[in-house]
A and B are shown apart, each in its own frame.
Chain A
Amino acid sequence: MLKLFLWLKYLRKKRIVLLSILAVTLSVTLLIVVASLFAGFINAFERSAVDTIGDIVLTPPVKFAGYPLLIERLKQIKGVEAATAVLSSQGLLHLGQGNVRAVEIWGIQPAQRAAVTGFKQSLLKTGTSSQPPSFTIPDSANKMGGYVGIGIITEPNDKTDEYDFGAAQKFIGRELVLTTGTITSAGSDGQKQFKRKTVEFTVSDIVFSGIYEIDKSFVYLPIEELQKILYPDEAGQIAQQVQIKLADGIDADAAIAQMQGIWEDFAAKNLGWDSYLIKSANLETSRQMQSQYVAEFRKQMDVLLLIFGIVSFSVVLLILCIFYMIVITRRKDIAIIKSCGAANSSVAVIFVGFGACIGLAGSLLGTISGYVITKNINAIEQRLSIALGLKLWKSSVYMFSKIPNEVDWNAAWHIVFWAVVAAAVGTLIPSVVAAMTKPVDILRYE
């Protein structure tokens, strides 16, 4: 009770204590915001892979035929929700006079792809429709439809970093020419040659995933049509990759082990591949595919937090100064308490406890402000960009259109804990000075 009374008294009478609360608040806010933004970016990075290529990806060393059968078998594994095939190539998209873009071409099954990834939500026109996505062009059944990434047809505004969705929508229905090709054995000498293939398609929708690199480089066509263009002589339905979606809570490693068995059996019996080729296939989760980058991002986050943690050590020094001042100016209080029978440890506890309370108060305020700043980071960034006249966050640099604004509570609790400890540590020397105070020296009449 006495301690509480003294704490409240010091808090009320010694306004300088508020400075230490302010310093703790500032440091905690900064650390929480940095940790949350970094963690949010890492989470978004991992999620973007799942949204783009599904949970698990099977990539054989060369293209293979008969993917519908393989997908059928994979779907029989418990926990596999959906799977879809991809046939890829590269090419040049001719958008108009002299306007040519290098693009990545993906032959896809739109409905199946929507079941595996978050693809449907990325479609500007049909994203909100209850129907599964399709390449069909209304009233033009003969024309081949295709999707184009929004970044291919328009650039984000330099100041706002936002795409002109109106201009992009106007591309829907336009006919574009895509030039691609394959290397085939041709000529009398059997030498391999590059055969140009020109694909005309009508834009049936625009893809806006919010991931700059994806939006800037991908053109999607029906897998069957792309096969006919690229590999007209190939028998069976061919693909280069199978992307798989798992049900929630399924152990990916166990699922991969089962898939490996199915793949090996399929490749040996249906494709007639030798064991070397079969084993060369890559079967891994999308998270595993990015693990090296994620580990690097996490390391950078830790280094940044360490740097700011070291700088925040000056808060400990500040608390030390303030408490030293309190102890020096409140020696009479201490002497009276000790003359009433308080032990040295009790006196020390008063100041250490007060320091911890200041740390707690500062941390709570810091957590609140860290939460508010993180949640509103996009609005803050927008205001700052307007004020400074330059865009701070650009999707072309940081991949995503929006700054991830989730608070990393795990990091936040750690930061709060260490802030309280640091504040208590800052009071240790003043507490010892207080505990060593001799009432007889302080309370003498002269």
Chain B
Amino acid sequence: MYKVILIIRYLFKKQISYLASIAVALCVFIVTVVMTIMTGLLTEFKQKNHNFVGDCIVGTESLVGFPYYEDFMKILEQSDFVEAVSPVIKSYALVSLDGTERSRGIEIMGIDPVRHGKVTGFGKTLHYNKDNVSKVFEPVYEPALAGCVVGVDLWLARDAWGEYSYASEPAKAALAITCFPLTAKGALARAGADIVNTKIFYYSDTSQSGLARVDGSIIYLPFDDAQVLCGMAGTDKRASAVYIKFRPDVKLAAGREKTALLWKKFAEEKTGNKPTDLLKAVTVKSWKDYRRMFVAAMEKEYTMVAIMFALVGITTVCIVFVVLYMIVSHKSKDIGILKSVGASKADVVELFCGFSVMVGLLGSFVGIICGWVFLLRINWIENWLFEHFGFQLWDRTIYAIGGIPNEIEPKLLAAIILAAVAVCLAGAFLPSRYAAKLEPVQSLQVSQL
């Protein structure tokens, strides 16, 4: 009990201990704000990537694709761990607004919108057909025409608030999309002919996945059309990938493992058939592995910032050390009395460690409250700064970021509090040892009183 009384007394009576708490609060405040924003960005980015590809991808990087994908989809659909599957064609194409001479290279993605909507978050990315994905390739102005969904950044410019100006319904616009069909052996198909596979598609909707690279480079086409354009139709139909969504109770790693086993068995069964070389290039990846290149970069930045904050935390260790050292120096009489009435060295260490924990907790509490209040108002502050001074944390015309993420993660808060307490304990280590070693006979001698 005496320890608690002394800790509270030192904490509130010794003004210098406020300094230690302020230092902890300052660090906790800034770490809470920055790491909450970064965690929010990272979580959002991961979620967008997950929504874009579903849970698992069986596919190949080769533009030739792989055959027998329909057979494998049937096997997947009959399995007990798969909820939905969607075949995908991926390739490159040249696109030009019909009637103009300029063309630009883009990526095309051939999908069955209903299937794809069940596996991924594709439906939610649409603007006009959010509630009716099956009609997404039917231009509202002439449903009989072949429609296409354009990545929003290919079609519209973001304004300073990160918003797009959509018309009430899609304007009639024709896009000439030209692909270069490849044979199953990877050679250019129809090499003798002069005209390549070109088809006019009509703008029917936009897709905003929130991923800048995707929204600025992909045009979605009906699966069958894309298959023909890329030379993957015919007797040996090919696809680039099969996207899979697992049932809710299936864990990602387990689902991927089961899919890989199914694929291995399936590929072995097909070994006798031609062309099997293409099956060798097929991989089975979870969405995390498939999008690792993009997600890992952001995760690394997150780690780097955390490391830099840890370096700055060394200063807080020093502050706690100095404050504790001062308190121990000034309270040598208290220590002497405590030890003379039977307190052990461990009790003294416990007393000062307890004090440092309290400093850490108090600083964390203040820092988190300030950080929480700041985060609650952060978007309002940014809007105010933008309206009055033209300042934005991120230029929304460049970055595909909406509001600043400000949702506090309990896990993150717990980690910050633990780190703050650990920093305080590290700072208290030497002064506590020094206090424990003080002899009552020295600190209580008359000349010292």
Contacts and interface: CB of A to CB of B under 8 A. Distances in A.
Nearest to B293: A396
A321 B34 contact: no
Contacts of A136: none
Contact of A23 (B92, B96, B191, B318): B318
Contacts of B188: 94, 177, 179, 198
A273 interface: no
A320 B19 contact: yes
A183 B103 contact: yes
Contacts of B98: 192
Interface in A294-344: 295-296, 299, 303, 307-308, 310-315, 317-318, 320-322, 324-325, 328-329
B101 interface: yes
B30 A182 contact: no
B101 A310 contact: no
B26 A314 contact: yes
Contact of B393 (A34, A193, A303, A312): A303
B312 A100 contact: no
A328 B107 CA distance: 71
B103 A90 contact: yes
A90 B105 contact: yes
B56 to A, nearest CB: 22
B114 to A, nearest CB: 29
Given A193-B195, A394-B297, A318 B322 contact: yes
Contacts of A103: 105
B178 A397 contact: no
Contact of B297 (A182, A194, A397): A397
A104 B94 CA distance: 11
A26 interface: yes
A76 interface: no
Interface residues of A, number: 61
Interface in B307-326: 308-309, 311-312, 314-316, 318-319, 321-323, 325-326
Interface string B1-21: 000000000000000100110
Nearest to A322: B322
B260 interface: no
A322 B326 CA distance: 9
In the A-B complex, the 9 residue pairs with the smallest Cβ-Cβ separation, listed nearest first, are: A98-B186, A97-B186, A98-B64, A90-B105, A102-B92, A98-B62, A196-B196, A397-B297, A321-B322
Nearest to A95: B186
A181 B178 contact: yes
Interface residues of B, number: 65
Nearest to B191: A198
Interface in B123-177: 176
B182 interface: yes
Contact of A292 (B297, B312, B395): B395
B322 A325 contact: yes
Contacts of B281: 98
A30 interface: yes
Contacts of B99: 192
Interface string B371-404: 0000000000000000000010111011000000
B38 to A, nearest CB: 11
B91 to A, nearest CB: 8
A389 to B, nearest CB: 13
A99 B62 CA distance: 6
B312 A27 contact: yes
A166 B99 CA distance: 46
A392 B312 CA distance: 21
Contacts of A96: 186
A139 to B, nearest CB: 28
A102 B99 CA distance: 23
Given A20-B318, A296-B398, A324-B16, 8 more contacts: A30-B311, A94-B186, A97-B185, A192-B99, A292-B397, A325-B322, A325-B329, A396-B293
Interface in B80-122: 92, 94, 96, 98-101, 103-105, 107
A311 B30 contact: yes
Contacts of A27: 312, 315
A309 to B, nearest CB: 10
A62 interface: yes
A313 B27 CA distance: 9
A198 B190 CA distance: 12
B19 A62 contact: no
A310 B26 contact: yes
A413 interface: no
Nearest to A101: B92
Contacts of B322: 16, 19, 318, 321-322, 325
Contacts of A311: 26-27, 30, 309, 312
A24 B99 CA distance: 65
A183 B100 contact: yes
18 contacts: A20-B318, A26-B314, A62-B101, A90-B94, A90-B103, A92-B92, A97-B186, A98-B64, A177-B188, A192-B98, A194-B176, A194-B178, A296-B398, A311-B309, A318-B23, A325-B322, A328-B326, A397-B297
A175 B317 CA distance: 64
B369 interface: no
B147 to A, nearest CB: 20
Contacts of A295: 395
A100 B395 contact: no
B265 interface: no
Given A196-B196, A314-B26, A292 B315 contact: no
B325 A16 contact: yes
A409 interface: no
A181 B187 CA distance: 17
A303 B33 CA distance: 13
A414 to B, nearest CB: 19
Contacts of B391: 299
